[in-house]
Amino acid sequence: MENEALLEKFEQLINEQGYQELKVYLDDQLITDIAELIHEMPEQAGIIINNLSIGRAAAAFRILEFHVQEDVIRELPAAKVAELLNELPADDRTSFLGELHSDVVKELIKLLDPEERKITLSLLGYNETSVGRIMTPDYIAVREEWSVKQVLDFIREYGKDSETIDVIYVVDEKGKLIDDFRIREFLLVATDTMVHTLMDDRFVALHVNDEQEEAIQIFRMENRVALPVVDDEGILLGIVTIDDMLWIANEEHTEDIQKIGGTEALDEPYLDIPLLKLVKKRIGWLVILFIGEMLTATAMAFFEGEIAKAVVLALFVPLIISSGGNSGSQASTLIIQAMALGEITLTDWWRVMRREIISGLLLGGVLGIIGFIRIVFWNSLFHSYGEHSILVGLTVGISLVGVVLWGTLSGSMLPLILKRLGADPATSSAPFVATLVDVTGLLIYFSVAFALMKGTLL
């Protein structure tokens, strides 16, 4: 394996203390292989980064997990840290500093060059979840009165410092964004063509205070590699590139999955997070859900008399509450995912409810029929449910329709309600929905039983 060969060569050079040869060898490797080497030998991360040329060190550092980045900064000498931080793109540097304790940030900020310090402090001033926090000021902006030749000359001179040259932005004398072009539009016309003759004044821009999740949706719809970021006056402040959006989308997806599972979002990889911190992240929801499940016992106690008269009812309690919880969890997961992808919004609540009412009736009907047939068939073989097996089957079947319908409605509406209240829809996790439906499912079940069996078993 290529990675195994890299690992063996690295260990050999470290053991022989061949640091000069190590520098040359590491600089010949792919950045992804360097990141993999650090993943395999995290205790050597500082040595690896320290022996890379500064440009490659920054490229490798920016794709490492935060906890590894933190370890690297601790191990590197101050001079190398200063080089590394100044070399990092502004958005990646801001993202890293934003995760650190404020005291550490203050010390690291001092290591930056004056211009980089100004940029970083500006980006750190924006809300943590805003587009402004992840934008980069490194872009190519030209003027409408320029010719294509002037634009191409400008790109050749300054393009190496830009995050991307795929998109070129046109600004006026005040810095206001007035158009954007893909680079090929300049490459395919005569060099004496004036920029303003190519303009159509149609462009898509993000606002600096837009939420990052909203930006993900815009990137998806517009199919762009980069989008400009403007302020209230339309002044071009920076750009956001697709690689940043993919990183944010991955973090958001991971966070939502963890919340759906009934835990707080983890800030670190599972195996790296301290055990007590992991327990703290999980215990909150477990306590809430446990207290919620206590209501199930309360509901059972309320119907204790009915259960005493018809013990057979207790046999189907797990069936009823699990069916409701499962249907609610399904609906909750589907709606949260659809909201994350921008497929539905708060204004679609009635369409969602209508679909879930129909879905709940159909799903509950299928389960109810299966439950009824199973009870009747089983009783014909083993006489498990006595002479009123048909009545028991009807009770279970009708209850399943009601419980599954309620589960789908709860699971689909809770995310929308939470979104309306300004909370994270993922908070209406599957366990939370399941707990809610457990309690209400028992009420539905015993209410149906009382209505159908009154005068017979009850």
The predicted model gives 276-303 an average pLDDT of 80
Q: Is the pLDDT of residue 1 over 70?
A: no
Using alpha carbons, select from 207, 66, 65, 80 the residue that is nearest to residue 135.
207
Name the least confident of 17-31, 92-106, 333-347. 17-31
Query: What is the percent of the chain where pLDDT is above 70?
Result: 97
Secondary structure of residue 360 in the 3-state scheme: helix
Mind listing the pLDDT tens digit for each residue in 46-59?
889 999 999 999 99
Mind listing the pLDDT tens digit for each residue in 92-151?
898 889 888 878 888 888 888 988 888 888 888 898 889 999 898 889 999 999 999 999
Query: What structural domains does the chain harbor?
Result: 2-125 (1.25.60.10), 141-243 (3.10.580.10), 275-453 (1.10.357.20)
Residue 445, class by beta-carbon neighbours within 10 Å (0-12 exposed, 13-18 middle, 19+ buried)? buried
| Number of Cα atoms under 13 Å in the Cβ half of residue 130 | 17
| Tokens read off for 211 | 């939420």
The predicted model gives 3-23 an average pLDDT of 75
Q: What is the pTM of this model?
A: 0.68
| Tokens read off for 85 | 């931080």
pLDDT of residue 430: 64
* 132 or 7, greater pLDDT: 132
Using alpha carbons, select from 337, 352, 318, 351 the residue that is nearest to residue 425.
337
The predicted model gives 252-262 an average pLDDT of 75
Per-residue buried b or exposed e for 74-110, using 16+ beta carbons within 10 Å of the residue's own CB: ebbeeebbbbbbbbbbbbbbbbbbbebeeeebeebee
Distance CA 160, CA 154 (A): 11
Sign of the alpha-carbon dihedral angle for 52, 58, 59, 60: positive
